[in-house]
Amino acid sequence: MSGLDIGQRTLPQILAERARTTPGDTALRQKIFGIWQPVTWAEYDREARTLALGLIALGLSAGGHVGILAENRREWVIAQLGIGMARAVAVGVYSTSPAEEVGYVIAHAECEFVICEDQEQVDKLLEIRPRLNRVKRLIVMDMKGLRAYDDPWLISLEALHEAGDRHGKAQPALIDDNLAAQTLDDLALMVYTSGSTGRPKGAMISYRNIAYTAASVRAKTGMGARDSCVSYLPLCHVAEQLVSVCMGVGGGATVNFGESLRTVQADLAEIGPTVFLGVPRIWEKMQSTVLVKMEEAGGIRKWLFESGFRACRPFCDKPPARRTLRERALFLFYFWLVFRPLQNFLGLRRAWLVLSGAAPISLEVLRFFRTIGIPVCEAFGMTETMALGFMQSADDLKPGTVGPPLPGVEARLAPDGELLLKGDMVFKGYYRDPERTAEAIRDDWLYTGDLAEQVDGHIRIVGRKKDIIITAGGKNLAPSELENNLKLSPYIKEAVVIGDGRPYLSALVQIDYDNVGSWAEGHDVTYTNFKSLAEHAAVRELVQRDIDAANGRVARVAQIKKFMLLTKELDHDDDEMTATQKIRRARIHEKHAAAIEALY
């Protein structure tokens, strides 16, 4: 095992130190009414301290749990660090979750307080109030629209800070004493899993897990205070915790919060971050956007793009230093002519550390971006490993793998091919679930549930053990690989491959409404809504064409023989997707059982 030095400081201790050593440097930026407002390390630390003091003044117990229910914004991370300074535990809750799911997480986590964003989230919590008998107060970031809510259960974030200021005057050394007593083995965070196969589980993350992640990324990449990122994935997801908190506080990078999720593309173009983590759906959407824009542009621009792509695609996996003189000249020519404007359009021209994680991604999608000069590398981790375990390097790519283990990670394969991990990144267990904890961690090894292969010291993830399809002919197939192959089409947003115990593979397909809608308008196809568009014969022909192309890229046994177009989008509210947009396969199979049988 590597002797990775993770240090001895917790995140709140690091924040306090940054406030002492670089107080005027920018830690966060929040876009408000079109203007980026900076937050220095000193301000970050001060606001976290007063929030901590306010929670203690209201009765938060040492080691107590505090829920955070909000979209990404500066107040989210300040609240998380403040909860840590109170020696309590932050519990992230998806702001997009319906009231039922919100209630389950807050009740299961036994939260004493909930810090929520606005009236929308307050209404959810009031709806399920009888279930939240442990919650003492709701602390609201934005009180707009709540003037008529005469309820002592609610308190504004501003009032909490005022209470914290008063408590700080009475006990000026309290937070420093808390920080001095904090250790790496203290519980820092609870991250609830996506719940793709059942109720979400509360993964208990320690400061040691977080310290390992920050140290391993620094050791692997050199990321640090010179870097910047855009925070847009949900902060209650471990992937965004990696970027906005581990590398924000732990590495000193500047974290930028846009006005909303809808402005991410514009925010990227404005900020030009040096570090960017995208989930596969983001990369697929970006690729689709570029392809559709090129199709619409037509003429010389489309021809130049296609020419450049064909010329540079053969050496896209080669690090620039290993390319021949001819390959470098070809790329440079097309970079200035075509690829540079595309990188600017995507907002990623300055990005040197570009990662894809959280779910499997198609190798062809990765190669698309590498071809145009955006060096996307795949990383693998889990909620249970604080987001990381393996990471590719742009100078050592083995296509189809997620790279070698990060410093400090031990990895091996069980006899059945399941990937096992050991190291400081392995979580402390599932909250209030000793049985599942015992299943996941055995003799200090984490059983990931993923089947994997070793390729020259790198790891290739085959697929989730529980999802593997075994056809009637006995062939084992990973559905995620087949689905990613289908989603290379800009007109296919989601696909669910079926075939376990069946004579051939079929698929439920959801069209990309925006891209297919644009195509329809250019081809005189009339429609009124998603259903009428999906049911149009011309759209079925369009999708059939791209499924035929996908079939041409795989062996015969992995080809899709039949498919059905879904007449509505898969939705979290309908229990078809998780909050992180992962497919709930069992639920979809159950809801569409009749249609699936009709395909056979």
Residue by residue, DSSP assigns 145-160 as: T-TT---TTEEEHHHH
pLDDT for position 3? 65
| 352 to 221, 241, 373: CA distances (angstroms) | 10, 20, 10
Pick 481 or 154 by higher pLDDT.
Answer: 154
Model pTM?
A: 0.89
- Mean pLDDT (whole number) for 181-209: 90
User: How confident is the model over 43-49, as a mean pLDDT?
Assistant: 98
Tens digit of each residue's pLDDT (9 = 90 or more) over 152-169: 999 999 999 999 999 999
Q: Which fold has domain 11-208?
A: Rossmann fold (3.40.50)
- Is the model's pLDDT at 35 over the cut of 70? yes
> Where do the DSSP E strands lie in 403-522?
410-413, 418-422, 429-430, 441-442, 445-455, 458-464, 469-470, 476-477, 492-498, 505-511
At 590, list the tokens: 């159950």
pLDDT tens, position by position, 299-348: 999 999 999 999 999 999 999 899 999 999 999 999 999 999 999 999 99
- Label each residue of 192-218 as H, E or C: ECCCCCCCCCEEEEEHHHHHHHHHHHH
| Displacement of CA 9 from its chain's centroid (Å) | 26
CATH of the domain spanning 468-598 = 3.30.300.30
Q: Residues spanned by CATH 3.40.50.12780 within the chain?
A: 11-208, 278-349+352-465
What pLDDT digit, counting tens, does each position of 524-556 carry? 999 999 999 999 999 999 999 999 999 999 999
Domain 278-349+352-465 is found in CATH 3.40.50.12780 = yes
Q: Rounded to 5 degrees, what are φ and ψ at 507? A: -150, 145
The boundaries of every CATH 3.30.300.30 domain in the chain are 468-598
- Quick one: pLDDT at residue 1? 41
